[in-house]
Amino acid sequence: MQIIDGKSLSKKVQLSVKAEVEKLKREKNIVPGLAVIIVGNDPASHAYVSMKEKACKAVGFYSIAHKMPESITEDEIVQIITMMNNNPHIHGILVQLPLPKHIDTTKILEVIDPKKDVDGFHAYNVGRMVTNLDSFVACTPLGVMKMFDEYNIELEGKDVVVVGASNIVGKPMASLLLNRNATVTITHIYTKDLASHTKKADIIIVGVGVVNLIKEDMVKDGAVVIDIGINRLEDGSLVGDVDFKRVAPKCSYITPVPGGVGPMTIAMLLSNTLKATKEFGENL
């Protein structure tokens, strides 16, 4: 059993991004700029934004966080995004989800210029990703794919079960795997017998936010298990959706929580913002 170390891989990605940022500054006098919009006071969202700001600073990005009150209107958010769409110093725009219930998330995401959609949530980028064209890809699934490549985990012809069908993780994850010729089964809250699918899987990818959902008897020997779930227990500790202690001995590869997929999500955000900046530079 080998643990997939997302923390060290994310550092490797960040060092590569930092080197390219220095080159961009030196050769074209361009500094990558990332703008984040966060609405309300959700502690988890603010923690994520703080981590993103720290990562941006570490690689030499210019970053700005627009922190909005819960009571903000949809039109006001649209105005802010439009302003950033038109700002040549901002290359990536990210809206921290979830948004308050009175805001139409789809409408807000569609206002972002697809060329600055570094979260990969705009329908334009989703469509291009599904059809295997160059696009911005949602950061968490992209981070998982980077892990597979780093650890030389073969996907072609493998039976992969994706547990969770969200627009942010499950659906893009399945599309990326299909693009690499894996045989993909998507399971979700309405799936009748989850274990009947996971037991046959060469690779299990889970991200639904249910502690210990994937148990030892649901995983075959030698499987690869990618745990995207993050759950905070009453004692303050973080755990994933997999019963790590019991499942890990059966696996060929497994990601821990924390230190697995989480750091890769932020690394891919940096990578996507660099990509947006380079494409902007080419169009000058």
Cα 141-144-147 angle, rounded to 5 deg: 155
Residue ranges and CATH numbers for the domains of the chain are 29-115 (3.40.50.10860), 139-261 (3.40.50.720)
Annotated catalytic residue, options 5, 52, 158, 171: 52
Say whether 52 is catalytic: yes
Torsion of CA 185, 186, 188, 192, to 10 degrees: -30
- DSSP code for 225: E
Annotated catalytic residue, options 14, 115, 116, 119: 119
Q: Tell me if residue 122 falls in helix, strand or coil.
A: coil
Mention every residue, 6+ apart, whose C-beta is less than 8 A from residue 273: 32, 34, 56, 61, 91, 92, 118
Per the DSSP assignment, residues forming a β-bridge with 281 are none
**21 in Cβ contact with 59 (< 8 Å):** yes
Closest CA to 66 of 58, 57, 76, 56: 76
> How far apart are alpha carbons 222 and 152 in whole angstroms?
15
Say whether 79 is catalytic: no
Task: List the pLDDT tens digit at each of the 284 positions of the chain.
Answer: 999 999 999 999 999 999 999 999 999 999 999 999 999 988 888 888 899 999 999 999 999 999 999 999 999 999 999 999 999 999 999 999 999 999 999 999 999 999 999 999 999 999 999 999 999 999 999 999 999 999 999 999 999 999 999 999 999 999 999 999 999 999 999 999 999 999 999 999 999 999 999 999 999 999 999 999 999 899 989 999 999 999 999 999 999 999 999 999 999 999 999 999 999 877 65
